[in-house]
Structure 1
Amino acid sequence: MTREALLTIMIGLALLCLGLLAWSWWRRARRDAAYPAPFGELPEGARTTATFTTLYVATTRHGEPLERLAIRGLGFRSRADVTVTDKGIALDLAGKPRMTITPDRLVDAAQATVAIDRVVERDGLTRITWRVSPDTLVDSYIRPQEASARQLADAIRPLLPTGNA
């Protein structure tokens, strides 16, 4: 086999792999299109209790940290600022509109070690469990940059419905 033929085969295989990756992401995005992203502002008069500079890691199916969801605006890792207020949590991901998770959607705030593309030291991630729809729970993983994952989880816990704190 000539060098040119081998190069042509390798380029063809690379293009096939890239095509399969694009196709699988398109199918995943279509599958998850039913889940609405929580775009919006915090309610009027919300009092800020804490702010954190973070790295947004992923949003996954609840209890399945290796199954990324392609929810619009939450499909990719990003730098983010998290603002915790008395009326909810605001996620400001780089280049995306603000997302707000209100207390009625919050289920839990805990620490984690593993998410789809990130393994960190023990309890180095904050896992926020919330309702993306009335019957669907998801877990969003956030890695604080200048504080601990425990500090972020502790700041969120007062917002949890009674009995989940």
Structure 2
Amino acid sequence: MNPLLNILADGTIERRSQEVTDWGARIAWTVATLLFIAFLYWLMRKGWQNRGASQSDLPDLLPAPAVTGEPRLEMSGRYHGSTTAGQWLDRIVAHGLGARSRARLTLTDEGVTVLRPGARDFFIPADRIRGARLDKGIAGKVLTEGGLLVITWQHGERLLDSGFRSDRAADHAAWAGTLINLSGATDAAAQHDPEAAR
């Protein structure tokens, strides 16, 4: 008979849990698991800090302007991160650019204002926009084909790709086309070759 089953006088079966016979081993395994998780977290945090330190040459972000011109396009969605242009896994974490968040984008003749609740807002001046494209992945985030609007822009000495996903995927094409025209990068090849967009 199964030692975990006990038949009562009225014929019902009572299930009993296995008794812990070695509390010392159970506690040791629990502590070891928690220490391992804490160590992994520390390694990830250290890697994030080291990546930020290696990007210390990146200038501070421009704040969102208080007053802008008439909006040409607006979009609500998510900011999925920024990378070195053309290198979709080389995440930029300096100045809060590595933090994924909700985002509201507004395009005016002055540039793109990115408002992020719970994260740092920033502004991309029109003369620093180098192009735009529809893509499917950035910084470890993979979506369906064309599910991501990627804006390529100059920040200091670096060319960056910043990925956004609209709540309405149909917005992406209009944004990409308008940004390409605004940047003057009419050559379609320049949208996929960061060096050609310089």
Bin of the TM-score, shorter chain as denominator length: 0.7 to 0.9
1:4-34 deviation digits (Å, cap 9, x = unpaired): 2222221221121111111111111222232
- TM-score w.r.t. the length of structure 1 is 0.88
- C-alpha displacement of 1:127: 0.8
Runs of 4+ in 1 over 6 A off after TM superposition: none
Query: So what's the TM-score if we normalise by structure 2?
Result: 0.74
The equivalent position to 1:29 in structure 2, one of 49, 52, 55, is: 52
Partner residue in 1 for 2:173: 150
CA distance in 1, matches of 2:68, 2:137: 36
Distance in 2 (alpha carbons) for counterparts of 1:10 and 1:95: 32
Check conservation: 2:80, 2:138, Cα contact below 8 A.
yes
Bigger relative contact order, structure 1 or 2 (CA pairs below 8 A, ≥6 apart)? 1
**Residues 107, 164 of structure 1: 8 Å contact kept:** no
Number of paired residues?
164
- Report what 2:158 is aligned to: 136
Question: Is contact 1:112-1:122 (8 Å) kept?
Answer: yes
Bigger Cα Rg: 2
Aligned equivalent of 1:72: 95
1:66/1:97 Cα in 2 relative to 1: closer, same or farther (>3 Å)? closer
Query: In structure 1, how many angstroms separate the alpha carbons of the residues matched to 2:103 and 2:112?
Result: 12
* 5+ long unaligned stretches in structure 2: 1-23, 189-198
Are the counterparts in 1 of residues 180 and 186 from structure 2 also a CA contact under 8 Å?
A: no
Higher mean C-alpha displacement, 67-76 vs 1-10: 1-10
Uncovered stretches (5+) of structure 1, i.e. residues with no partner = none
Deviates more, 1:61-70 or 1:96-105: 96-105
**What is the CA RMSD across the aligned residues, in angstroms?**
2.1
Amino acid at match of 2:116: L
Change (3 A) 1:54 1:155: farther
